[in-house]
Structure 1
Amino acid sequence: MSSPLTPAQVAAQARRALLLDLDGVLWDTLPVMQAGWAAVRSQHGVTVPFSSYQAHLGRPFHDIMALLDLADADALLETYENACVFASDRARIFAGITEALLALANRGWTLGVVTSKGLHRALPLLARTGVPFATVRTPGSERGKPAPDPLLMALLDLRLDPAQAVYVGDMPVDQESARRAGVAFVHAAWGYGRLGEPAVATAASPAELLPLLAAEEQLPVPRAVAP
């Protein structure tokens, strides 16, 4: 027989989490990444074009290096990071994203970020959005996307279940991570990636997140049954 839920438990179960990727969803950082990769090519004699690196965006840097069959990833990362910091003023926040997220926060959504960008580069960008993020997950000891680990760790921070979350990303690796985590996914079509089948919910602009998520707000959250 189940025990009655406390008011705090009812409130927690009514919450929804909106988790977002950073690059290609919140910020247009492609010019910064291009500068970073140009430095890698110049200083390390790497011949791989940026387009090949870009195809794997969303994964941790070391995972991309393995996919590109490039050795000495630590040295490449140091060069890449230093060049990206130097070119950080080229980043631009996507038009309308701040307004959309603040509106969703006012509607009760708990906001979080799950990104493969390092914390030292992610935090300054997130601070400039003016949006309250309850959790920020960057690469750590867990597996990176497309594994479900980063999304599940973010939900653990928020004490929410996958059924209570939506992940917004722009790359196929984001979609795969959400699928494996059991989290609903929205494709940010204003970003860098193009998804194949199966078709998913898609927002052509940040403003389109509002009507898309309005339907999600009406879905009941499965109730946990206390023993």
Structure 2
Amino acid sequence: MSSRLGVFDAVIFDFDGTLADSHAAMMRSYVRWAEEYGVDLSQARMYTGRPSEAVARALVTDGRAEEAGLRLDALEVSDTDGVVALPGSLDALSALDDGRRAIATSCTMALVVARMDAAGLPLPAVVVAREQYAHGKPAPDPFLVAAQRLGVDPARCLVAEDAPAGVAGAHAAGCRVLGVLTSHTADELGADWHVGSLAEVSFAVTADGVAVSLA
């Protein structure tokens, strides 16, 4: 028996870890970057879901943080080998029209476009990338911008997220949050609902909005 989460005006998806698995490609880039800048990435997991410049500011302490953030972006854009769609992501995106779906990501626009293409996923009309907001997750900015561009109230949006920073940002924006357990536990995420993947979720456009149910 399915469990209905509610009806929402729109669904805002995180990208990495929610719609696609880019972990192997990301780690190859991080390993090379760490070698180039002499940083220790043993604590990198705590930065999951945050922009490259935030990672660089935290780990590069010799005055080269800005340069390091740009270099990390460049390495990631150039390596999309093995980036694949996660279960249910294509169906989720295909179930919604462009007025009901968006992506809000810590990736740059170049990176999300490259990874979406590699994963074979359709790019929504509304993609809010790192260049388009002032403060990254866990700030609410990415989700507020996405809701504004969709023309909907953030409180009427469902956000799908896999990282604690993203869940915190979505809650701060007033959204309800569906946590995807690809890299963190439910306790770590603290979302309103949790699933293993989007394959466990049904999205149906109705006259009232997007009806979202768990299988």
Offset at residue 192 of structure 1 (A)? 1.8
Q: RMSD between aligned alpha carbons?
A: 2.8
Question: Is residue 74 of structure 1 aligned with residue 66 of structure 2?
Answer: yes
What is residue 77 of structure 2 aligned with on the other side?
Answer: 85
Q: Please say which structure displays the higher CA radius of gyration.
A: 1
Give the secondary-structure state (helix, strand or coil) at the position aligned to 1:101: helix
Offset at residue 212 of structure 1 (A)? 10
Offset at residue 180 of structure 1 (A)? 0.6
Quote the Cα distance in structure 1 between the aligned partners of 2:158 and 2:192.
12
Task: Note the residue ranges of structure 1 that are not aligned, 5 or more in a row.
Answer: 1-13, 220-227
What is residue 35 of structure 2 aligned with on the other side?
Answer: 42
Deviations 1:7-49, CA, capped at 9 Å, x for gaps: xxxxxxx972110111101111111111111111222222x12
Question: Is residue 181 of structure 1 aligned with residue 144 of structure 2?
Answer: no
Matched residue type, 1:143 = H
Offset at residue 111 of structure 1 (A)? 0.9
Range moving further from structure 2, 196-205 or 135-144 = 196-205
Quote the Cα distance in structure 1 between the aligned partners of 2:77 and 2:123.
24
Question: Is residue 192 of structure 1 aligned with residue 188 of structure 2?
Answer: no
Offset at residue 90 of structure 1 (A)? 2.4
Offset at residue 207 of structure 1 (A)? 1.7
What is residue 57 of structure 1 aligned with on the other side?
Answer: 48
Quote the Cα distance in structure 1 between the aligned partners of 2:152 and 2:196.
28
Change (3 A) 1:130 1:43: closer
User: Which residue among 29, 36, 51 is the counterpart of 2:22?
Assistant: 29
User: Which residue among 96, 104, 109 is the counterpart of 1:114?
Assistant: 104
Q: How many residues align?
A: 200
Deviations 1:156-184, CA, capped at 9 Å, x for gaps: 10110012201000011111001110001
Give the structure-1-normalised TM-score: 0.77
Contact 1:36 1:82 in 2 (8 A): no
Structure with greater helix percent: 1
Contact 2:56 2:69 in 1 (8 A): no
Quote the Cα distance in structure 1 between the aligned partners of 2:123 and 2:8.
15
Quote the Cα distance in structure 2 between the aligned partners of 1:40 and 1:122.
19
What is residue 161 of structure 1 aligned with on the other side?
Answer: 153
Offset at residue 202 of structure 1 (A)? 0.8
Quote the Cα distance in structure 2 between the aligned partners of 1:132 and 1:89.
19
Quote the Cα distance in structure 2 between the aligned partners of 1:218 and 1:121.
30
Task: Note the residue ranges of structure 2 that are not aligned, 5 or more in a row.
Answer: 1-6
Quote the Cα distance in structure 2 between the aligned partners of 1:159 and 1:212.
19
Contact 1:39 1:79 in 2 (8 A): no
Quote the Cα distance in structure 2 between the aligned partners of 1:98 and 1:163.
25
Matched residue type, 1:66 = R
Give the structure-2-normalised TM-score: 0.81
